[in-house]
Homo-oligomer: A and B are copies of this chain.
Amino acid sequence: MASIKDVAAEAGLSVATVSRALNGHPSVSEDARRRVSAAVEALGYRPNAVARSLRTDETRTLGLVISDVMNPYFTELARSVEEEARALGYSVIIGNADERPDLQDHHVTTLLDRRIDGLLVSPTDGGSPGMLGAARAGTPMVFVDRWIPGVDVPVVRSDGRAAVRDLVAHLHGLGHRRLAIIAGPAATTTGRERVDAFREALAAYGLELPDAYIGQGDFQAGSGRRVTEGFLDLPVPPEAVFAADNLMALGALDAIRARGLRVPDDIALAAFDDIPWFVHTDPPVTAIAQPTRDLGRAAVRALVDRIAGRPGASVTLPARLVVRRSCGEPGTGRPPSPSPVRRSTP
């Protein structure tokens, strides 16, 4: 591949002048500029970003470590991050932690070794060594969606508290009293917050959230299935299940369907995170929608601020409830089917 030296030779100029011409430096004659362009064209020259990075100590690359690419919420986040980054002249490298701290650390380390300019992360847990190390090492960093308490890094996330209250009001209005939650990992902020918000909202109606109605999931479909099976096996199963993310809702749907039960007749279902498919599931799923695009944008802006030495603002955006049919037909004041009794399993 042609190097800047080849271009210099072809143009009959020094490497320094070619470099200046290439970078739009003002003090380059029109003539030199033209000769450089011609040489570049003739040789099909493309600057070597690796060499440039070594010299300038910046890669114009952002790292994004998310917990699960297969989760449409994170996919959309990643897309929005890439768009905003591109607009600002950055590339982004995505690392998929798959909800595993060890994999997360692997990606953080790899990214740091590649000298990315800044790191965007949605931590899988309360702080793996690699993560904490990165934060301490002073790499510009911002948390998106999830964060680690006590680590001094801007956080860009959405607050679902009000939406969860709306959801509980909705469920209560439909006559549901025994409400359960499929929680995310307690090691994550979102895992804890959604349970807390749910519990608080229930308390406002004098309702309890018994331990048996808190199922421990891991934000992935399989756990949603297992937890839901557990709920259905209870002597007194819940009337409504709130899945703390869309994948666990998918798992819940699997479990419910496998038992030959129907939503919302036999059991109501709601999910955190809204996705296009929820409009078309049987039945359409009531969900809490995050302003995902805005989150991605804000996160990149905060990170770029930090990279530039500016403070980098934390941002919290509200989530909102999207009512569909999976909790019962609105307006009836009661769950659709008169007797939400557990059916015998086929």
Residue pair B91, A93 in contact (C-beta under 8 Å)? yes
Interface residue range, chain A: 35 or more
Q: Which of B46, B50, B75, B257 contacts A70 (CB 8 A)?
A: B75
Tell me whether A51 is interfacial, beta carbon within 8 Å. yes
Identify which of residues 95-114 in chain A touch chain B, using a CB-to-CB cut-off of 8 Å. Answer: 96, 106, 109-110, 112-114
Please pick, from B54, B277, B280, B282, the residue contacting A51 in the complex, using a CB distance under 8 A: B54
Given the known interface contacts A82-B96, A344-B260, the answer about A44 and B137 at a Cβ–Cβ threshold of 8 Å is: yes
Cα of A260 to Cα of B345 in the assembled complex, Å? 6
Q: Given that A48-B113, A137-B44 are known contacts, is A250 also in contact with B276, CB under 8 Å in the complex?
A: yes
Q: Which of B93, B109, B277 interacts with A46 by CB under 8 Å?
A: B109
Least Cβ–Cβ distance between A115 and chain B, in angstroms: 5
Q: How far is the CA of A346 from the CA of B281 in the complex (A)?
A: 13
Q: Is A253 close to B, CB under 8 A?
A: yes
CA distance A270 to B124 in the complex (A): 37
Chain A residues with CB under 8 Å of chain B are 1, 44, 46-51, 53-54, 59, 69-70, 72, 75-76, 78-79, 82, 86, 91, 93-94, 96, 106, 109-110, 112-115, 133, 137, 221, 250, 253-254, 257-258, 260-262, 276-277, 279-284, 344-346
- A96 — which chain B residues lie within 8 A by C-beta? 79, 82
Chain B's nearest CB lies how many Å from the CB of A265?
Answer: 10
Contacts of A1 in B (CB 8 A): 137
Q: From B59, B76, B91, B282, give the contact of A280 (CB < 8 A).
A: B282
Evaluate contact between B46 and A50: CB separation under 8 angstroms.
Answer: no
**A78 contacts which chain B residues (CB < 8 A)?**
69
**What B residues does A59 contact at CB under 8 A?**
50
Question: Would you call A113 and B280 a contact (CB within 8 A)?
Answer: no
Does A345 lie within 8 Å of B345, measured CB to CB? no
Going nearest first, the 7 A-B pairs with the smallest beta carbon separation are A282-B282, A277-B277, A49-B113, A260-B344, A280-B281, A49-B114, A253-B280
With contacts A69-B78, A260-B344, A277-B277 known, what are 20 further pairs, Cβ within 8 A? A1-B137, A46-B109, A47-B113, A49-B115, A50-B54, A50-B59, A51-B54, A69-B79, A70-B76, A72-B72, A91-B114, A221-B276, A253-B280, A254-B279, A257-B345, A258-B345, A260-B345, A277-B280, A281-B281, A282-B282
